[in-house]
Structure 1
C-alpha cells in the first residue's frame, strides 16, 4: 500500500466512500446530503494542512487529512481525520494512515496531535488510536447523534509527540 498526497483528480474516487461513511451517520458529524463540491471543501486540505490517499493495487482505499488543530497560538497541535472505504476495512488501511499522520505531524514540528471528536462507540477507531499511543483526555456526553444508537459521547484524544 502506498500513501501519497491527494490530487484534485483523486477526489472523484474519494467522494463515493466519503459520502457513504457520512451518510451512515456513525462516525462523522458532517452535514448529510453534501454535494461533491461541498464535501471536497471540507476534506481536501490546503497548506499548511495536507490530504493523503492510501492506494492499494491502483485503487484508493482510504484517505486522511491533517494539519493544525487551531490557528495562531494553538497551531503547534496537529489534528487529523480518517476515512477507509467500508469495503476495505480490517486490512490495516486505518493503521497505515494513522501512522502516516503521526509521522507527518512529528516531521512538521507539531508538539502533539489532538482528535476532537472520536465517537465513543466507534470501538475500532478508539482501539486503533489507543494502540498508536493516543489517550482519552475527556468525553463530551451525548455530543454525537449516532444513526442507530442515539446520542453518544465524543472522545477528545491526544498524543504527545
Structure 2
C-alpha cells in the first residue's frame, strides 16, 4: 500500500468513500444531504492537502490535512480521515494517521487537533489514543447521531515533537 497526494483522477474513488460516510451522518458534523459536487468541493477544499491510500490501483482510504485555525492557531494541524468500508479494520486509518503526522511535521505544524470526534466512534477514539492523542475536552451532547441521538464529542490533541 502507498499513500500519495490525491489527483483529479482520484475524485470518483474518493467520492465513493466520502459521500456514503457523510450521508450516514454518524461520524462527521456535516450536512447529510451534500450533492456529489458539494462533497468533492468540501473534501478537496482550497485549504485541504488531500491524500489517498492505494493498493494495486484501488483507493482504500483518503485524508486531508489543513491548519486547524488561522493566525495565532495556524501552527496546529487538523485532519479528516475516511476508509472504504471493505478496507476497514485493515490498518488503513492507522497508516493514514501516521502518514499525516509525518506530513504535518514536514509542513511545520507543532501539534495536531481533532475538533469533533464523536464518542460513539469507538474504533477511531481508540486508534487516535494509541497514536498518542489525548482527549482534552468533552463537548456534552454536541453531536446528534442518527441512531443514538445526542452523544458527546471529544476534542483530541497531540503535540508533534
TM-score bucket (shorter structure): over 0.9
2:41 is matched with: 41
**Which structure 2 residues correspond to residues 1-161 of structure 1 after superposition, within 5 A?**
1-46=1-46, 49-161=48-160
- Root mean square deviation, CA, Å: 1.0
Question: How much does 1:46 deviate?
Answer: 3.0
Structure 1 unaligned spans of 5+: none
Tell me how far apart the structure 2 counterparts of residues 128 and 41 of structure 1 sit (CA, whole Å). 28
Question: How many correspondences in the alignment?
Answer: 160
- In the superposition, the TM-score normalised over structure 1's length comes to 0.96
For residues 7 and 45 of structure 2, the distance between their equivalents in structure 1, rounded to whole angstroms, comes to 11
For the 8 Å contact 1:136–1:158, the answer to whether it is kept is yes
TM-aligned CA deviation for residue 117 of structure 1: 0.6
Give the Å deviation of 1:45.
3.8
Contact conserved, 1:45 with 1:66, CA < 8 A, in 2? no
Q: Measure, in 2, the Cα distance between the counterparts of 1:32 and 1:123.
A: 21
Check the 8 A contact 2:142/2:152 in 1, yes or no: yes
- TM-score normalized by the length of structure 2: 0.96
Runs of at least 5 residues in structure 2 that lack an aligned partner in the other structure: none
Instruction: Provide runs of 4+ in structure 1 moved above 4 Å.
Output: none
Shift of 1:115: 0.3
